[in-house]
Structure 1
Amino acid sequence: MMIHFQHLQQTFIIYFVSYRDKFENLLKLQKLLGLQCSHFLRRSDIMDSLKNENFDLVIVESFDYCTFLVAEKLGKPFVSILPTTFGMVDFGLPSPVSYVPIAHSLLTDCMDFWGRVRNFLMFFGFSMRQWQILSTFDNTIKEHFPEGSRPVLSHLLKKAELWFVNTDFAFEFSRPLLPNTVYVGGLMARPIKPVPQEFETFIAKFEESGFVLVALGSVFNIAQFQKSLKEMNSAFARLPQGVIWKCNPAQWPQDVKLAANVKIVTWLPQNDLLAHPRIRLFVTHGGLNSVMEAIQHGVPMVGVPSFGDQPENMVRVEAKKLGVSIPFNQIKAETLALKMKQVIEDKRYKSAAVAASVIRRSHPLTPAQRLVGWVNHILQTGGAAHLKPHAFQQPWYEQYLLDVFLFLLVVLLVTVWLCGKLLVMVARWLCVARKLKKA
């Protein structure tokens, strides 16, 4: 099953990059997660072992909804970590569509009229897709929870005591938050270490021109896209800077001559290189952790997003003037080279990145301190009921005041009807009075 999952994951990425069957393949991925969840919950040895452990709280991650079902099966309170930007998961936050962009809309918080129309219409599509994704776990719930006490997955998302969101005010659009929503963007930040000598030696060749760091994430395999690889190599050759590129040398095509100013490596210390004083630009896939690291060190970006939340992340990067973006499937050597030179030479991008770094670093508490502090808070207070709005207990028609609007509409219609009746009666009375007067 794991081999099947990995194959489906790679197929999903390829389809997503080429913009074919995106949502259908996501549903297949979720259905497979549902099957894996059923298999896990059948493992009585594992579940009994967890039940026998003396723990007070479960920390779950929201990409795989199985974790919510495991916590519910154990009967333990839980907190959830959202690894992506807002909008990918609906856990009950107020989301005014006038300035909170819907997932995959590629809109910012500053929408014109047509942007708001598009966002409003996309809200219904998102709600339908969310329902379809959650329904892939219906069979798992029916199999492992007795009738009458079966949880509703959408309700479980709101049952989380806390939501830790992998974002930061330096990056995310301002939006309404609930008291149980805590930003912990940069949680994975590590202390800076000296850059290994092989990288220092390469960087020194380019003196004050500096270097460009290229890393497209650990999931995406650039070797599967030969045309894009050639275009990127050609673009890097046009730069005066050195380029350190995370790209497996063993998979480099033999018919492509590596640019003289490019060093390709299987692994690189990304955080340490982003902190290097001679870095000029970060070419990234737009993964949230990579973006957070770039913001941490004040490095401007050129994004080449391909799938998942990456396009949404780069919309925020562009809106904050931290860099520019080119969809991966649209990469051309000339365009990429121009974009990179634009960001390197226009100091406004560097200034915006440094300003974002100041915001990111100036929190009174680190992301880890925030996470630990809030977990301790709910453990000491017996849960986070005091942090959740009553709206979580209301049916949807009450939350949107549809019952109030319906009542007021009925009152208005009845009032108009009565007024109409009264006017008819007055008109008849006046008509009769005129006839009597003439007589």
Structure 2
Amino acid sequence: MQQHSTYSTISSDADPPYMNKNPIVRMSESNTEHMSYARRFYDAFIWRAQALWHLGFSPWPIPLAINNKRWEDALKLVNNLYGVEDPRPMGPLVELVGPIYSEDVNAGTLDPDLEQYLDARQRVVYVAFGQFMMATSAETSTRVLHMLLENYEAGELDGFVWSAIRGTPLPEHITTSSGTHYYLNSTEFQNIGRIVPWVSQKAILRHPSIITFVTHGGAGSLYEAAYFGKRMLFTPFCGDQIYHALNFERKNAGLWFILEEADTNTMTTALNQVLKDENGTMQQEARRLQAIFQIHSQHALARATDLVEEVAFTADSDGKLPHRRDIARNLSFFKRNNYDLYLGLLALITAIVTLSYRVVVLVKEHLRIKKKVD
């Protein structure tokens, strides 16, 4: 079962013409809705020709064709759902069964000291970049802490928890724009924010004091935050993280920046906007997503299990599911798209116009001859 967005689907079952066919650009722009004509033309023809010229082969039609052939009769289970996935028609061999979580979404507990810290606050920001991503330098970590402390001094948050994995380079101290010095090992700093090597993400997102999640935008983190109705500020690094960040920004469900490129002011302003949420649109979208995720997660695993059993008990001797075979595969290209009907209509109109023209010409000729005789 695929754990990610069907924008990278291995089959054409969920790939109508308006989905982006460039596998690199598709990481951020999964469909052509927001792409200009020039960009679409470039991706469809120019980019492919350039790759063919420089690499000696076309980099995506060949492997995709092989994969399509391999999986064309397989039932594809995708751990995703509409609300994150682009809404579009999908074939009978594609099923969105998400969100399925790796463990009970209500599992996990907090360290008593951290739980006490959260209980004493109401507007806490949680920061985590996943199991493998991290700030690559002390300078980047400094900007992250600046972003948090500047908003703390502005009164937009009353605490933060940064789950910084081991090896994350951290500065010894931070000096904010107000001239205040914060030493990370001081009691004063510990009373404001916590930097921990690990925390149960489900447990901390479940806490009501967490109002915003600064995340890399991986599918797992997004699913957990959506389930608990948290606003998100994205710092995507690669892959579908960029797609998620763009998608949520366009829905007015969050903001994003590239961590290694954004300056302190950009980061601080972005977090400030998410925290303030002046029109309430982000929290409204967060609640809408929360409802979608909580509703679908109740029976997601059972739904996926049912589909696996369907394959096990109904597949034919070749492992195919004849009851799910799209009838379009039995039709010619013209019949499948009703082009034969349009061609017939065009031929009929052409015949009528031609016949009418010939009748008019004959009548005019007849009248001309008659007039000449008279």
TM-score, normalised by the number of residues in structure 2: 0.74
CA distance in 1, matches of 2:168, 2:240: 27
Q: Which residue of 2 aligns with 1:298?
A: 229
CA distance in 2, matches of 1:154, 1:291: 29
Aligned equivalent of 1:157, options 71, 85, 94? 71
Letter of the 1:368 counterpart: L
Does structure 2 conserve the Cα–Cα contact (< 8 Å) formed by 1:171 and 1:320?
no
**Shift in CA distance, 183/345, structure 1 to aligned 2, threshold 3 Å:** same
**Shift in CA distance, 304/125, structure 1 to aligned 2, threshold 3 Å:** farther
SS in 2 for 1:238: helix
Give the C-alpha shift of residue 213 in structure 1.
Answer: 1.5
Q: Which residue of 2 aligns with 1:247?
A: 164
Aligned equivalent of 1:132, options 59, 62, 78? 59
Q: Which residue of 2 aligns with 1:175?
A: 88
Does structure 2 conserve the Cα–Cα contact (< 8 Å) formed by 1:190 and 1:271?
no
**Shift in CA distance, 359/395, structure 1 to aligned 2, threshold 3 Å:** same
1:85 aligned to 2:5?
yes
CA distance in 2, matches of 1:399, 1:229: 56
**Shift in CA distance, 416/247, structure 1 to aligned 2, threshold 3 Å:** same
Question: Greater shift after overlay, 244-253 or 210-219?
Answer: 244-253
Deviations 1:213-267 (A, max 9, x none): 21222343431x6654332222122133333223335341557657634433443
SS in 2 for 1:263: strand
1:341 aligned to 2:310?
no
CA distance in 1, matches of 2:133, 2:334: 42
Give the C-alpha shift of residue 291 in structure 1.
Answer: 0.8
**Shift in CA distance, 433/390, structure 1 to aligned 2, threshold 3 Å:** same
Aligned equivalent of 1:325, options 244, 253, 256? 256
Equivalence map 1:179-328=2 (5 Å): 179-191=92-104, 192-197=107-112, 199-200=114-115, 202-203=117-118, 207-223=120-136, 227-240=139-152, 241-252=158-169, 257=174, 260=189, 261-328=192-259
SS in 2 for 1:307: coil
Q: Which residue of 2 aligns with 1:434?
A: 371
Letter of the 1:132 counterpart: P
CA distance in 2, matches of 1:368, 1:182: 12
Q: Which residue of 2 aligns with 1:370?
A: 303
Letter of the 1:156 counterpart: R
Does structure 2 conserve the Cα–Cα contact (< 8 Å) formed by 1:163 and 1:180?
yes
Give the C-alpha shift of residue 339 in structure 1.
Answer: 2.1
CA distance in 2, matches of 1:386, 1:416: 46
Q: Which residue of 2 aligns with 1:357?
A: 290
Q: Which residue of 2 aligns with 1:379?
A: 312
Does structure 1 conserve the Cα–Cα contact (< 8 Å) formed by 2:13 and 2:90?
no
Letter of the 1:194 counterpart: T
Deviations 1:51-72 (A, max 9, x none): xxxxxxxxxxxxxxxxxxxxxx
In structure 2, stretches of 5+ residues that fail to align are 52-57, 153-157, 175-182
CA distance in 2, matches of 1:376, 1:96: 32
CA distance in 2, matches of 1:104, 1:267: 29
Deviations 1:274-327 (A, max 9, x none): 112221211111112211111111111011223212222123323444322224
CA distance in 2, matches of 1:106, 1:353: 22
Deviations 1:322-371 (A, max 9, x none): 32222445422222222222222324423432232122212485221111
The structure where helix makes up a greater share of residues is 1
SS in 2 for 1:380: helix
In structure 1, stretches of 5+ residues that fail to align are 1-80, 138-150
SS in 1 for 2:110: coil
**Shift in CA distance, 351/105, structure 1 to aligned 2, threshold 3 Å:** closer
Give the fraction of aligned pairs with identical amino acids, expressed as a percent: 20
SS in 1 for 2:77: strand
CA distance in 2, matches of 1:366, 1:120: 39
Larger relative contact order (Cα-Cα within 8 Å, sequence gap ≥ 6):
2
Deviations 1:356-395 (A, max 9, x none): 2122212485221111011112222225321231123445
Deviations 1:392-429 (A, max 9, x none): 34455554445554554455445444443443333322
Q: Which residue of 2 aligns with 1:388?
A: 325
